[in-house]
Amino acid sequence: MMAAPGRAEAFPSRDHDHGHCIADALLRAEEICARKGARLTRIRRSVLAFVWESHAPVGAYGILERLNAEGGRSAPITVYRALDFLMSCGLVHRLASLNAYTGCGVPGQPHGAHFLICTDCGAAAELHDPEIDRAILRGAEEAGFSVKAPVVEVQGQCPGCREGAAG
């Protein structure tokens, strides 16, 4: 069972080293792809690394710009195919309200996608609270509804932006 992240875990400090996040995400991706018999190609690997460069969700065209800045001439479909692959492997989530993507904090583990999204700095934190899943499933069952994708996106202000506004 996944525990709900604490404040520091949910929204890392602004001086947080994303290199560690990227390295962990790539290592987990390689392990998951190997278990599934799938290939983590150079493009897919680059796209995943770009998604993990910060804790703010990134759009497909932002990823495309980064790919092309490295000397390539990729087309949008290349990025969308890579993102579809990464989502199918549970490595990234799509945030519909932002039309953007964020890395999955617990890839390879079944869970609902619940996010806190800061409207000031753009950071997004994935929640891991089984109570949210249970509440959604209970409410859906009472309504006779079959849940396919329990995604919740909550917009507000992260601790860093709240402290900045208060100070």
Residue 138 φ/ψ, nearest 5 degrees: -65, -50
pLDDT at 130 over 50: yes
pLDDT at 88 over 90: yes
pLDDT at 102 over 60: yes
What's the confidence (pLDDT) of residue 86? 97
Judged on CB neighbours under 10 Å (0-12, 13-18, 19+), 58 is buried
Locate the DSSP E strands across the chain.
92-95, 100-103, 113-118, 124-127, 151-156
Q: How far apart are CA 16 and CA 149, in angstroms?
A: 31
Mean pLDDT of the chain: 89
- Band (pLDDT 50/70/90 cuts) for residue 3 is very low
What's the confidence (pLDDT) of residue 41? 96
The token duo for 34 is: 């190997």
Lowest mean pLDDT among 5-9, 28-32, 35-39, 100-104: 5-9
pLDDT digits (tens, 9 = 90+) for 33-75: 999 999 999 999 999 999 999 878 999 999 999 999 988 789 9
Question: SS3 for 153?
Answer: strand
Percent over 70 (pLDDT), the chain: 92
Q: Which residue in 93, 125, 116 sits closest to 12, CA to CA?
A: 125
What's the confidence (pLDDT) of residue 12? 73
